[in-house]
């Protein structure tokens, strides 16, 4: 009998002749947490799809053993029946259904004739949530009443309801605040004690270091290393992921900070569904030429609302005065904002950044298409020339500019979205979570680009939930909490604790509620 | 590089598959009707029949790519046809002023629909459903529920006339030359800018295949008096709509809006304006279709165009337009319209009962989309 609960051996998966996975091994013992690390595009998602039966048995080569027996899943259902449950990066809850209904979705407890046994489901849901140390949840209430942190835990409860023995968590903390992430990690530690095995996929290596016993690194579809965490450091993991030494995550470049070119005055946003509640409450700030200003705060503090109002994109009622180079601008739509000299790279790449079916090139020129046109007719060749040049400059990995952007990895999609919003040559660049779900190598490229732009005199506003990023990149840090400006610190000797203290001290409610 | 070529071929293959489907349908009916189907006379009729659905499909394919739907086009057609008949027959307007007025009216009706969808934010499905009833009601009201006839001769000649064979031949030759020149110019341009070139043989084969199609098309129709005028108009619309969808900023924006409206809005595109213009073009196409309907039948019937929206929507889906918006082609939609028209014409020739005609068309629509879904999932 093998010591492993689960083993993948020499997995090979090809897409029309291209090897996405080239002989990957992965093994997990009962009660062990294995960290799976790799840059975007390294093959992690493909591997997870093989594992979970999204790619049915027979469409890949190699062998999967579960409990010492070969596992031949033909569908997700098969692998779930065996006890393998994936929790995806995007939450897969139905917001209109109740907490209990979501936990038992597809797995309902029934009375005779297909009638749902609500009493049993509520009781069991409460028991499951108690196991996750969630006590103040009304399981009959809609999921949409609870914040992102709670929802992530509901997903885990859902997995446990399926008797998961192997839990796969794909970037579970990407939309969580740091305290929520803390709760999540301690719950994983508890589950490990109960014998549940985990595969933890994350770019946040501090989390991997804390919760994982073993680390497996893959790169370009190949297995690079598997070692106990005790023998690895975050630095050695990064080196293995990237394949080269990255001395400094933040390639800081000297850049001069000039006069004030941008001012936002009295930005106030009202909640879309609750018009009495202010999401952003009278925030004013200014940014200088060539300055990088980081906006920190908890998830739900109002940072995204603040920048979308400045960009004319906030969906609800809002007020904002934007002054650019001393002139009061009239901005009520993204169209006017871009014309005025602002660009925004939105937070949610899939929903707001890319047009998935269009080609990489078509996406890149979407904001500036008129520049390549004479009397409405696009000069395709001129357009392609720009696209080719930009793809090379920012090292976007794609087989061709006409291929649909949906097929690119997250980091490369993000680069394409960045290029799209840089082509209008903005004076002020707003980046909302610019490196969310982006691999280390692409992160490095994006930071480098930011410093280059600042050196050219572009004013940059960066909203970020990653504290090291805020401190590593910004010249000045604004802290937003409860919709108000809670701090404005020059980034000289600034520490994470100071920023966090400013962000939290005013938050009366629990962070999960604010989300 | 190799996978790219395969993908390119796949995209081509989709058109080929549709054309093969048309060929199979034609041969089937030809055999079943004792060689009465593939004759110049019948095909000429067939193309003339499809031209009205084809006009609606031209507008509808944009609407669907933009992620919307318009269920009112059949009633719009009836209304606009009714107005042209009323103006010429009852009010003594000249044919051309009446046509001009109706084209403008169509544009306005479409723009109104677009306004309700984009500015008042009523879902287009509901706007269409309401319009279907309301526009039909207006036709019944203004015509007093009776047929308006007879339409003037110059209007009728638009629907029933032909482009003389000698001119047809020249038009065919010109289209072929135009295609060849455009292809050559693109290759030269790309070479000059040092951009990647597609394989030469693919371009040559494509131009030759298109030439062959044009030649056959003109040859057959010339044996039956030349290209019918409605078909000529449809070809012109095909050229314009294809140009708009592939070569213009507005065209690219239609695909972007349908593919991801939020991302497109955040890229500074005025998405409401794009949709409004798309609906206005739909109204314009309804005007074209309405005028040709009156011209073909020689009268304005208050029930004209009933069910036209379903034919147009079916044509788009058979032609590979995505139901979720964001992808589709004009020529695909027109081949879809050809499939529908071929089924109609063939089954009428075979004297198939009307009930069966409806059942078969319904099944074919579902089948065609199913095949499309299958081929789509294979690519993932």
CB of B277 within 8 Å of a chain A CB? The answer is no
| Pair type for strands A84-87 and A166-170 | parallel
Using a CB-CB distance cutoff of 8 angstroms, which residues of chain B are in contact with residue A424? 268
**Region at B132 (left for phi over 0; alpha for psi -120 to 50; beta for the rest):** alpha
Alpha carbons A453 and A448: distance in angstroms, whole number? 9
Choose the mutation target among A357, A422, A429 for the interface with B, i.e. most B CBs under 10 Å: A357
Closest residue in A to B246 (Cα–Cα): A378
pLDDT tens for residues A308-353? 999 999 988 999 999 999 999 989 999 999 999 999 999 989 899 9
Question: Is the predicted pLDDT of residue A390 greater than 80, yes or no?
Answer: yes
Lowest-confidence pick of A267-276, A387-396, B246-255: A267-276
Question: What integer best gives the mean pLDDT of chain A?
Answer: 88
Alpha carbon of A209: minimum distance to chain B alpha carbons (Å): 35
Alpha carbons B325 and B331: distance in angstroms, whole number? 16
Considering only residues B201 and A2, tell me which one the structure prediction assigns the higher pLDDT: B201
Question: Is the predicted pLDDT of residue A508 greater than 70, yes or no?
Answer: no
Tell me how far the alpha carbon of residue B128 is from its chain's centroid. Answer: 19
Q: What are phi and psi of A476, to 5 degrees?
A: -145, 145
Q: How confident is the model at residue A514 (pLDDT cuts 50, 70, 90)?
A: very low
Does B247 contact A421 at a Cβ distance shorter than 8 Å?
Answer: no
Using a CB-CB distance cutoff of 8 angstroms, which residues of chain A are in contact with residue B378? none
pLDDT at A386: 93
List the 320-379 stretch of B: residues with Cβ below 8 A of A. Answer: 322, 326-327
Question: What integer best gives the mean pLDDT of chain B?
Answer: 91
Question: Is the predicted pLDDT of residue B67 greater than 90, yes or no?
Answer: yes
CB of A482 within 8 Å of a chain B CB? The answer is no
pLDDT at A239: 81
Alpha carbons A357 and A402: distance in angstroms, whole number? 10
From the CB of residue B224, how many other CB atoms can be counted at a distance below 10 Å? 18
Using a CB-CB distance cutoff of 8 angstroms, which residues of chain B are in contact with residue A383? none
Q: Among A417, A308, A303, which residue's Cα sits nearest to residue A360?
A: A417
Mean pLDDT of the region B276-303: 96
Calculate the CA dihedral of residues A121, A127, A129, A134 and round it to 10 degrees: 130
For a pLDDT cut of 90, what percent of chain A falls above it?
49
Closest residue in B to A340 (Cα–Cα): B268
CB of A378 within 8 Å of a chain B CB? The answer is yes
- Whether the CA torsion B161, B166, B169, B171 is positive or negative: it is negative
pLDDT at B310: 92
Question: Is the predicted pLDDT of residue A94 greater than 70, yes or no?
Answer: yes
Q: How confident is the model at residue A411 (pLDDT cuts 50, 70, 90)?
A: confident
Identify the top-confidence range among A98-102, A109-113, B55-59.
B55-59
Mean pLDDT of the region A291-307: 89
Does A339 contact B326 at a Cβ distance shorter than 8 Å?
Answer: no
What long-range pairs does B165-168 form, CB within 8 A, spacing at least 24?
A: B165/B222, B165/B225, B165/B226, B167/B226, B168/B218, B168/B221, B168/B222, B168/B226, B168/B227
pLDDT at B378: 36
pLDDT tens for residues A439-455? 778 888 899 999 999 99
CB of B28 within 8 Å of a chain A CB? The answer is no
CB of B90 within 8 Å of a chain A CB? The answer is no
The answer for residues whose C-beta is within 8 angstroms of residue A285's C-beta and 6 or more apart is A263, A264, A293, A478, A485, A488
Q: In the beta sheet, which residues pair with residue A268?
A: A319
CB of B242 within 8 Å of a chain A CB? The answer is no
Using a CB-CB distance cutoff of 8 angstroms, which residues of chain B are in contact with residue A421? 267
Q: Tell me the two tokens of residue A94.
A: 């139905």
Burial (CB count within 10 angstroms: exposed 0-12, middle 13-18, buried 19+), residue A266: exposed
Q: How confident is the model at residue A509 (pLDDT cuts 50, 70, 90)?
A: very low
Does A17 contact B3 at a Cβ distance shorter than 8 Å?
Answer: yes
Closest residue in B to A380 (Cα–Cα): B247
pLDDT tens for residues B111-127? 999 999 999 999 999 99
Does B3 contact A339 at a Cβ distance shorter than 8 Å?
Answer: no
pLDDT at A397: 86
Alpha carbons B153 and B150: distance in angstroms, whole number? 9
Question: Is the predicted pLDDT of residue A476 greater than 60, yes or no?
Answer: yes
Mean pLDDT of the region B296-318: 94
Choose the mutation target among A359, A366, A377, A423 for the interface with B, i.e. most B CBs under 10 Å: A366
pLDDT at B9: 57
Asked if B54 and B234 touch (Cβ cutoff 8 Å), the reply is: yes
CB of A315 within 8 Å of a chain B CB? The answer is no
pLDDT tens for residues A102-118? 999 888 888 888 888 89
- pTM (whole model) above 0.90: no
pLDDT tens for residues A32-89? 999 998 876 678 888 888 988 888 888 899 999 998 889 888 888 888 888 999 888 7
Report domain extents, chain A: 6-242, 291-302+333-514
From B3, B193, B322, residue closest to A381, measured CB to CB: B193
Q: In the beta sheet, which residues pair with residue A420?
A: none
Does B267 contact A381 at a Cβ distance shorter than 8 Å?
Answer: no
Identify the top-confidence range among A4-13, A86-95, A225-234, B62-71.
B62-71
pLDDT at B8: 56
Asked if A361 and A409 touch (Cβ cutoff 8 Å), the reply is: no
User: Domain A291-302+333-514 classified CATH 3.10.20.740?
Assistant: no
Count contacts between A and B (CB, < 8 Å): 101
Mean pLDDT of the region A340-367: 94
Does B265 contact A378 at a Cβ distance shorter than 8 Å?
Answer: no
What one-character-per-residue DSSP string does A206-260 give? HHHHHH-SEEEEEETTEEEEEEEGGG--HHHHHHHHHSS--S-SS--------SE
Considering only residues B317 and A501, tell me which one the structure prediction assigns the higher pLDDT: B317
From B1, B3, B259, residue closest to A355, measured CB to CB: B259
Alpha carbons B207 and B185: distance in angstroms, whole number? 13
Mean pLDDT of the region B247-259: 95
Question: Is the predicted pLDDT of residue B3 greater than 80, yes or no?
Answer: no
Does B267 contact A373 at a Cβ distance shorter than 8 Å?
Answer: no
- Whether the CA torsion B59, B60, B61, B67 is positive or negative: it is positive
Q: Where are the beta strands (DSSP E) in A433-483?
A: 459-463, 476-481
Using a CB-CB distance cutoff of 8 angstroms, which residues of chain B are in contact with residue A333? 270
Alpha carbons B232 and B243: distance in angstroms, whole number? 17
Q: How confident is the model at residue B10 (pLDDT cuts 50, 70, 90)?
A: low
Alpha carbons B73 and B80: distance in angstroms, whole number? 10
pLDDT at B312: 96
pLDDT tens for residues A491-500? 988 888 888 7
Counting DSSP H helices and E strands in chain B, the numbers are 15, 2
Alpha carbon of B275: minimum distance to chain A alpha carbons (Å): 16
Superfamily for domain range A6-242: P-loop containing nucleotide triphosphate hydrolases (3.40.50.300)
Alpha carbons B244 and B254: distance in angstroms, whole number? 10
List the 402-461 stretch of A: residues with Cβ below 8 A of B. Answer: 403, 420-421, 424
Side by side, which strands form the sheet with A6-15?
A18-28, A6-15, A61-66, A69-70
Does B259 contact A356 at a Cβ distance shorter than 8 Å?
Answer: yes
Alpha carbon of B61: minimum distance to chain A alpha carbons (Å): 17
pLDDT at B379: 34
Does B256 contact A381 at a Cβ distance shorter than 8 Å?
Answer: no
Alpha carbons A387 and B320: distance in angstroms, whole number? 28
Lowest-confidence pick of A199-208, B319-328, B365-374: B365-374
- The ipTM is 0.84
Does A357 contact B195 at a Cβ distance shorter than 8 Å?
Answer: no
Considering only residues B369 and B140, tell me which one the structure prediction assigns the higher pLDDT: B140
């Amino acid at each position: 009998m093998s010591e492993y609960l689960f083993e993948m051996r020499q997995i090979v998966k090809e897409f029309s002749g291209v090897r996405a996975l080239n002989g990957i091994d992965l093994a997990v013992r009962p009660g062990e947490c294995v960290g799976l690390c790799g840059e975007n595009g390294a093959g992690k998602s493909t591997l997870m799809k093989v594992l979970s039966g999204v790619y049915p048995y027979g469409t890949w080569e190699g062998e999967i053993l579960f409990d010492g027996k070969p596992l031949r899943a033909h569908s997700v259902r098969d692998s779930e029946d065996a006890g393998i449950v994936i929790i995806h990066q995007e939450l897969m809850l139905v917001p209109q259904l109740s907490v209990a209904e979501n936990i038992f979705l597809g797995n309902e407890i029934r009375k005779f004739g297909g009638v749902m046994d609500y009493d049993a489901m509520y009781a069991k849901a409460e028991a499951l949530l108690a196991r996750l140390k969630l006590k103040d949840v009304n399981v009959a209430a809609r999921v949409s009443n609870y914040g992102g942190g709670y929802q992530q835990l509901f997903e885990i409860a859902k997995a446990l309801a399926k008797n998961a023995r192997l839990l796969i968590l794909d970037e579970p903390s990407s939309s969580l605040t740091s305290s929520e992430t803390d709760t999540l990690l301690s719950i994983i530690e508890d589950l490990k004690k109960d014998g549940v095995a985990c595969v933890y996929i994350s770019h946040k290596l501090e989390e991997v270091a804390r919760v994982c016993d073993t680390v497996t690194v893959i790169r370009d579809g190949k297995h690079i290393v598997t070692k106990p965490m005790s023998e690895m450091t975050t630095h050695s993991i990064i080196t293995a992921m990237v394949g080269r030494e990255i001395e400094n995550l933040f390639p800081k470049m000297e850049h001069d900070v000039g006069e004030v070119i941008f001012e936002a005055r009295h930005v106030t946003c009202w909640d879309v569904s609750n018009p009495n509640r202010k999401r952003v409450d009278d925030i004013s700030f200014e940014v200088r030429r060539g300055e990088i200003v980081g906006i920190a705060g908890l998830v739900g503090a109002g940072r995204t609302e603040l920048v979308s109002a400045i960009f004319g994109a906030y969906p609800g009622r809002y007020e904002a005065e934007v002054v650019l180079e001393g002139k009061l601008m009239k901005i009520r739509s993204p169209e006017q904002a871009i014309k005025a000299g602002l660009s925004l790279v939105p937070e949610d790449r899939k929903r707001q950044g890319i047009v998935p079916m269009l080609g990489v090139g078509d996406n890149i020129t979407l904001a500036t298409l008129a520049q390549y046109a004479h009397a409405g007719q696009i000069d395709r060749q001129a357009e392609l020339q720009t696209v080719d040049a930009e793809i090379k400059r920012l090292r976007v990995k794609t087989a061709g500019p006409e291929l649909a952007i949906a097929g690119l990895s997250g980091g490369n999609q993000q680069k394409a979205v960045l290029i799209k919003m840089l082509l209008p040559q903005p004076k002020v660049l707003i980046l909302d979570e610019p490196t969310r779900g982006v691999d280390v190598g692409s992160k490095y490229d994006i930071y480098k680009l930011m410093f280059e732009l600042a050196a050219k005199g572009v004013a940059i506003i960066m909203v970020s939930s990653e504290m090291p990023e805020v401190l590593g990149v910004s010249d000045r840090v604004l802290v937003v909490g409860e919709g108000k400006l809670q701090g404005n610190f020059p980034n000289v000797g600034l520490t994470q604790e100071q920023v966090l203290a400013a962000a939290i001290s005013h938050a009366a409610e629990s962070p999960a509620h604010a989300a | 590089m190799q996978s790219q070529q395969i993908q390119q071929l796949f995209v081509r293959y989709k058109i080929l598959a549709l054309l093969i489907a048309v060929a199979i349908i034609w041969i089937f009916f030809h055999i079943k009707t004792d060689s009465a189907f593939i004759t110049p006379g019948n095909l000429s009729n067939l193309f003339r029949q499809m031209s009205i659905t084809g006009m609606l499909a031209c507008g509808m394919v944009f609407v669907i790519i933009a992620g919307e739907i318009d269920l009112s086009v059949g009633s719009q057609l009836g209304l606009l046809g009714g107005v042209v008949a009323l103006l010429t027959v009852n009010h003594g307007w000249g044919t051309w002023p009446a046509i001009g007025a109706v084209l403008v009216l169509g544009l306005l009706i479409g723009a109104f629909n677009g306004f309700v969808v984009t500015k008042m934010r009523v879902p287009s499905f509901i706007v269409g459903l309401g319009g279907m009833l309301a526009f039909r009601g207006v036709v019944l009201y203004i015509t007093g529920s009776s047929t308006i006839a007879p339409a003037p001769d110059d209007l009728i000649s638009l629907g029933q006339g032909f482009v003389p064979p000698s001119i047809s031949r020249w038009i065919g030759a010109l289209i072929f030359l135009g295609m060849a020149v455009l292809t050559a110019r693109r290759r030269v341009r790309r070479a000059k800018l040092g951009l990647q070139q597609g394989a030469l043989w693919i371009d040559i084969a494509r131009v030759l295949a298109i030439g062959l199609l044009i030649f056959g098309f003109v040859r057959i129709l010339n044996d039956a008096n030349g290209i019918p005028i409605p078909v000529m108009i449809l070809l012109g619309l095909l050229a314009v709509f294809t140009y708009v969808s592939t070569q213009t900023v507005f065209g690219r924006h239609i695909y972007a809006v349908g593919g991801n409206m939020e991302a497109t809005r955040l890229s500074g595109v005025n998405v409401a304006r794009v949709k409004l213009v798309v609906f206005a073009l739909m109204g314009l196409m309804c005007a074209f279709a309405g005028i040709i309907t009156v011209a073909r039948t020689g009268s304005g019937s208050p029930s004209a165009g009933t069910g036209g929206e379903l034919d147009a929507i079916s044509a788009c889906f058979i032609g590979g337009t995505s139901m979720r918006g964001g992808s589709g082609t004009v020529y695909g939609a027109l081949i879809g319209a050809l499939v529908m028209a071929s089924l109609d014409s063939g089954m009428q020739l075979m004297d198939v009962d009307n009930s069966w005609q409806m059942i078969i068309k319904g099944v074919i629509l579902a089948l065609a989309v199913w095949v499309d879904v299958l081929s789509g999932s294979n690519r993932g």
